[in-house]
Amino acid sequence: GQNIDQPTEMTATEGAIVQINCTYQTSGFNGLFWYQQHAGEAPTFLSYNVLDGLEEKGRFSSFLSRSKGYSYLLLKELQMKDSASYLCAVRGGGRILTGGGNKLTFGTGTQLKVEL
Amino acid sequence: EAGVVQSPRYKIIEKKQPVAFWCNPISGHNTLYWYLQNLGQGPELLIRYENEEAVDDSQLPKDRFSAERLKGVDSTLKIQPAELGDSAVYLCASSLGDSDEQFFGPGTRLTVL
C-alpha cells in the first residue's frame, strides 16, 4: 500500500517562493505526480517525476529523491491565482494481480493561500 | 479539444434513493477512472477501465456501487441505495493508457440528505 504525507495548509506572499513537501512510503513506485486543484474544479496536471532530480517547467519545479521517499513542488513568483490545493500523488503499489500496478494514490492535498 | 465531460455537476437526493453519474472521456483515451473525493481529501480510486473491461475495481463497494463502460467510451457510475456517507465529489478521469497522464473532469458533487 501507500502512505503519503503533505502539510495541510500553507500561506505565502505574492511574488515570493514557496516549497510544498511530500513524503511517501510505498510498496511499489512508478512515478510521482503533482496536481493543482482550485476549489470546485478538477485537478490539473502540473508535473511528473520518475527519476531523482529536479524537473523545471516555467514557474513550477518538482524534485524527487526516491531513496528518501521525498518530493517537493517549488512555486516561484507567486500570483494570487496560485491559491489552490496542491495534490501529491504516487503511482504504483497497487495489487498487480488485480490490475493495480499503475494505481495513482493521492495525498490529502496542501491548501496554499497567496496573500498580498 | 473537449476535455472530460461529466454530468450532472450537482445532485441532491434523499438517502436510500438511487443515483447515477455519467462520464464522457477525452476522445481516443482507452483508460477511464472513477474517483471519490471527500472534502479536504485527495481523490480515491473506485474503479479503472481499460476499454470496456474493469481491470481494477478492488476499491469499489460492490454492495451498493456499480459501474459500466459498455462500448469502451462513455461510462456510468451508479449508487443504489445511497447513504448519507456517500456525499462527496465523484471525479471521472481518462488517459491514453494506464501509464499516461490522467485528465480529470469537473466532477459531480453529490449531497445525500
The cell for A96 is 498487480
The answer to whether the CB atoms of B101 and A48 lie below 8 A apart is yes
Which of A50, A81, A43, A49 minimizes the C-alpha distance to A62?
A49
Inspect the interface and report whether the beta carbons of A43 and B43 lie closer than 8 Å.
yes
pLDDT-derived band at B99, boundaries 50, 70, 90: confident
For the stretch A33-46, pLDDT in tens is 999 999 989 999 99
CA distance to partner chain A, nearest, from residue B78 (Å): 20
Collapse the DSSP code of A103 into the 3-class scheme (helix H, G, I; strand E, B; otherwise coil) and give the result.
Answer: coil
Q: How far apart are CA B25 and CA B20, in angstroms?
A: 16
Chain mean pLDDT for chain B:
94
Element (H, E) at B48: strand B44-50
Chain B positions touching A106 (Cβ under 8 A) are: 42-44
pLDDT > 90? residue A7: yes
